[in-house]
Amino acid sequence: MNTTENEIKSNGLPVDEVDQNQQQQLLQQQQQQQQQQHMNFQLELEQLNELIAQRSLEIQNEKKNKERLQNELNEAQRIFKEREAEYSSIEHSFFEHTRAIRATDDDLSTIRDSFKLLKYSIARLIMTLNKKADKAKAAEKFCQTWPNLPILDPATNELEPSFVNLLAEKLVHEHLVKYVFNSPIYPGLKVNDAYYALHTWLQQHNSQFSVRLRQQMAAVVAKSKPETEIQQAAQKEKQAIAKKIYDDLADIYHPFLRENDAAVEEEKRYYNKICDIVDKALKLCIAIRGQEVEITTVAIEEGSKQPFEEETMTEVKGRTNGLVRFCICPTFMGGDREHGFLEKGKVVISG
């Protein structure tokens, strides 16, 4: 007999009644478990419904946020298009205004091209005179013109043949810089000195009107007719500048230059070629004066004192290291180096 039966007998309960009690207890346990599971399911369902409701609210909020952002984007695009149209209108008006102010239709790019054309014209003129120089007279002329420059070879005390044309080219450029590009407004104007005094005063007082004044003065010159006093005075000055250049070149390329001009037709004379170069310089000068930025020459120290600067100079033989022996053509610069104007100077370095 097993232990359970012994216990039942000891308790004095019939076996069937004991089994029935056990079944009831088991059933109650099952019911309790089912109720607990039901409660757990109910809780999970409530949590799930709550999560779904939360996610639905978030989705609605996201939709509203998306609609708001889309509306803001549409409004921003509308404003952008309006501003773009306004900017285009302002830009057009600005260019029309500057075109009206400018003496010519030139901009910095066309001015740069004009500089290159002018330099080429001068170099080409000098090349046609190659080997026509009287070396002794040329050396004397150069030493008188630039007494502080190392013109002659220290070893031989003679002028290097390759320097004759370069120094002649330098002489032409110096005349153009002195009498054309360094003139306050335009060669021959009676108001040059008065303008320069006023321009300097305005700059000292940080007035933007100095730019407008320069542009307006240039426009007056550019739009004046040939018979006006302005153009008549400029024409006389042009002839004077051309004569200075011609006389200097005639001393260097003696006697070829004058003999040639005496023997050929007028349009083939060197004097006419020089006048054409001066004309190019005058047109370039007035185009420069009409720009927003002020374009000026940058001095280059000669006599093997200043190092070569590749950013602002080119060397006749393409060298990039050394000291500047002499400058053929100065650097022209306006504004800053990044957004402004730069026409590199042409130099010869020592060595």
Structure confidence by residue, pLDDT tens digits, 237-247: 999 999 999 99
How many CA within 13 A on the CB side of residue 138?
29
For 21-52, write each residue's pLDDT tens digit: 888 888 888 888 888 888 888 888 889 898 99
- In this structure, the answer to whether residues 169 and 246 fall within a common structural domain is yes
Q: What angle do CA 238, 240, 246 make, to 5 degrees?
A: 100
Rounded Cα–Cα distance for residues 101 and 108 (Å): 15
Q: What is the pLDDT of residue 125?
A: 97
Tell me whether residue 5 is in a domain. no
For 66-96, write each residue's pLDDT tens digit: 999 999 999 999 999 999 888 888 867 766 6
Tell me whether residue 188 is in a domain. yes
Q: Domain ends where: 292, 309, 343?
A: 292
Across residues 243-267, what is the average pLDDT? Answer: 96
Tell me whether residue 69 is in a domain. yes
Q: What is the pLDDT of residue 206?
A: 85
Q: What is the pLDDT of residue 37?
A: 87
Q: What is the dihedral of CA 235, 226, 193, 289, to 10 degrees?
A: -100
Rounded Cα–Cα distance for residues 197 and 29 (Å): 114
Rounded Cα–Cα distance for residues 199 and 141 (Å): 37
Across residues 327-345, what is the average pLDDT? Answer: 87
Q: Binning pLDDT at 50, 70 and 90, where does residue 20 land?
A: confident
Q: Which helix (H) or strand (E) element contains residue 118?
A: helix 108-127
One-letter amino acid at 39 equals M
- Host domain of residue 22: 14-101
Q: Binning pLDDT at 50, 70 and 90, where does residue 103 land?
A: confident
- In this structure, the answer to whether residues 121 and 245 fall within a common structural domain is yes
Q: Binning pLDDT at 50, 70 and 90, where does residue 97 land?
A: low
Across residues 163-185, what is the average pLDDT? Answer: 97
Rounded Cα–Cα distance for residues 52 and 246 (Å): 98
Rounded Cα–Cα distance for residues 17 and 33 (Å): 24
Q: DSSP letters of 15-70?
A: HHHHHHHHHHHHHHHHHHHHHHHHHHHHHHHHHHHHHHHHHHHHHHHHHHHHHHHH
Does residue 321 carry a pLDDT above 50?
yes
- In this structure, the answer to whether residues 146 and 273 fall within a common structural domain is yes
Does residue 220 carry a pLDDT above 70?
yes
Give me the chain's average pLDDT, please: 89
- In this structure, the answer to whether residues 220 and 267 fall within a common structural domain is yes
- In this structure, the answer to whether residues 195 and 220 fall within a common structural domain is yes
For 105-156, write each residue's pLDDT tens digit: 888 999 999 999 999 999 999 999 999 999 999 999 999 999 999 899 888 8
Does residue 12 carry a pLDDT above 60?
no
Tell me whether residue 264 is in a domain. yes
Q: What is the pLDDT of residue 233?
A: 94
- In this structure, the answer to whether residues 125 and 187 fall within a common structural domain is yes
- In this structure, the answer to whether residues 160 and 44 fall within a common structural domain is no
One-letter amino acid at 265 equals E
Across residues 274-278, what is the average pLDDT? Answer: 98
Tell me whether residue 303 is in a domain. yes
- In this structure, the answer to whether residues 169 and 277 fall within a common structural domain is yes
Q: Is the dihedral angle over the CA atoms 118, 187, 209, 227 positive or is it negative? A: negative
Q: What angle do CA 267, 269, 272 make, to 5 degrees?
A: 70
Q: What is the pLDDT of residue 203?
A: 87
Tell me whether residue 208 is in a domain. yes
Residue with tokens 């002028």, as numbered in its chain: 159
Q: Domain ends where: 259, 292, 325?
A: 292
Structural domain total, the chain: 3
Contacts of 38 (CB under 8 A, 6+ apart): none
Q: Bridge partners of 295?
A: 334
- In this structure, the answer to whether residues 159 and 177 fall within a common structural domain is yes
Contact 13/5 with Cβ under 8 angstroms? no
Tell me whether residue 6 is in a domain. no
Contact 312/345 with Cβ under 8 angstroms? yes
Tell me whether residue 2 is in a domain. no
Q: What is the pLDDT of residue 8?
A: 46
- In this structure, the answer to whether residues 35 and 151 fall within a common structural domain is no
Q: Domain ends where: 80, 101, 122?
A: 101
Does residue 6 carry a pLDDT above 60?
no
- In this structure, the answer to whether residues 69 and 206 fall within a common structural domain is no
Cis peptide before 184 (omega within 30 of 0): no
- In this structure, the answer to whether residues 298 and 281 fall within a common structural domain is no
